């Protein structure tokens, strides 16, 4: 049984559907499923009279957030994780086509923190476009309890895409990833699944249980920032850092640095919004 568990990644095909040179990966499917789950959870909240918003507004928010996450996540990866490479290969920022080999390779590399900024900016644009008198902090408190559920599917997508695997380990928790991923023959922590649990399940349970217990406007949003930052920092100790970045000060990862910044911002928002009450 243990051997079966440890070799699960060896039996995974990242491609869900392929027709000629066109293919759809499990990651893309999980990514879209993540946004659908968030939409239905927010629609459920409206149905239960937990928010004074329309379902149409939620649908618009999901569409804007999807675009914002894609643009912000991609630019975040390009600027924060591999700026030198993309400075000399500008076309690869947005092109899924490899002109050197003549093949479609897809677009690789997304940054969560860049995606979060993209979603926030997209939401502000949506509110301004609709010219609606919607308080950003109140809407953020309404939306964030559902968002970690989407992270769960996103991290499962990382696992099915055989990317973002963990550090080498001798623990029984380790799994073997295909050699073509660059993981080598050693057991590695399935950090994607650990992140799915802590960033997705645990954070969702906490925020969902608090969804109607906000003490002040901006309370749940600040808890979300702090909670995700803590979960991400913990999970990063099991995750293999990006090869081109490595460790900061020989120990920390870039993701942990950004997550610490996220925690500090969350604490600042908590203090500011609580006193503003």
**pLDDT for 234 beyond 60:** yes
Rounded mean pLDDT, 257-272: 97
Rounded Cα distance, 141 and 123, in Å: 13
Contact 269, 221 (CB under 8 A): yes
Max CA-CA distance within the chain? 59
Q: What is the pLDDT of residue 17?
A: 85
Rounded mean pLDDT, 194-206: 97
Rounded Cα distance, 82 and 240, in Å: 16
Contact 194, 160 (CB under 8 A): no
What residues contact 146, with CB distance under 8 A and at least 6 apart? 37, 38, 41, 42, 45, 204, 208
- In the structure, what pLDDT confidence band is assigned to residue 126 with cuts at 50, 70 and 90? very high
Mean pLDDT over each residue of the chain, to the nearest integer: 90
Least confident of 58-67, 127-136, 227-236: 127-136
Q: Residue 51: phi, psi to the nearest 5? A: -160, 140
Q: Where are the domains of the chain?
A: 2-21+148-276
pTM listed for this prediction: 0.91
* Dihedral angle, C-alpha 118, 269, 236, 203, nearest 10 °: -90
Q: What is the pLDDT of residue 152?
A: 97
Q: Convert the pLDDT of each residue in 136-146 to its tens digit.
A: 999 999 999 99
CA distances from 189 to 13, 131, 253 (A): 19, 48, 16
Q: What is the pLDDT of residue 172?
A: 95
Residue 48: CB atoms within 10 A of its CB come to 10
Q: Which of 111, 92, 112 is nearest to 100 (CA)?
A: 92
Q: How far apart are the first and last CA of the chain?
A: 55
């Amino acid at each position: 049984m243990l051997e079966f568990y440890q070799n699960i990644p060896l039996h995974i095909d990242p491609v869900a559907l392929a027709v000629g040179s066109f293919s759809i990966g499990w990651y893309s499917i999980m990514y879209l499923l993540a946004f659908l789950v968030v939409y239905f959870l927010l629609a459920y909240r409206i149905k239960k009279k937990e928010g004074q918003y329309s379902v149409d507004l939620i649908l618009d928010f999901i569409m804007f957030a999807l675009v914002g996450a894609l643009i912000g996540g991609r630019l975040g990866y390009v600027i924060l994780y591999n700026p030198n490479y993309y400075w000399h290969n500008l076309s690869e920022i947005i092109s899924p086509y490899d002109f050197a080999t003549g093949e479609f390779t897809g677009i690789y590399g997304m940054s969560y923190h860049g995606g979060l900024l993209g979603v926030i900016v997209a939401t502000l644009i949506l509110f301004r476009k609709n010219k609606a008198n919607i308080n950003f902090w109140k809407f953020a408190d309404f939306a964030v309890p559902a968002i970690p559920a989407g992270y769960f599917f996103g991290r499962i997508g990382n696992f099915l895409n055989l990317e973002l695997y963990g550090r080498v380990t001798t623990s029984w928790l380790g799994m073997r990833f295909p050699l073509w991923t660059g993981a080598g023959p050693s057991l590695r922590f399935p950090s994607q699944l650990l992140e799915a649990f802590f960033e997705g399940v645990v954070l969702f349970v906490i925020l969902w249980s608090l969804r109607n217990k906000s003490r002040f406007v901006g309370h749940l949003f600040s808890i979300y920032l702090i909670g995700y930052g803590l979960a991400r920092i913990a999970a990063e100790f099991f995750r293999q850092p990006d090869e081109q970045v490595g460790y900061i000060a020989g120990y920390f990862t870039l993701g942990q640095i950004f997550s610490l910044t996220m925690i500090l911002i969350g604490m600042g928002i908590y203090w500011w919004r609580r006193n503003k009450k």
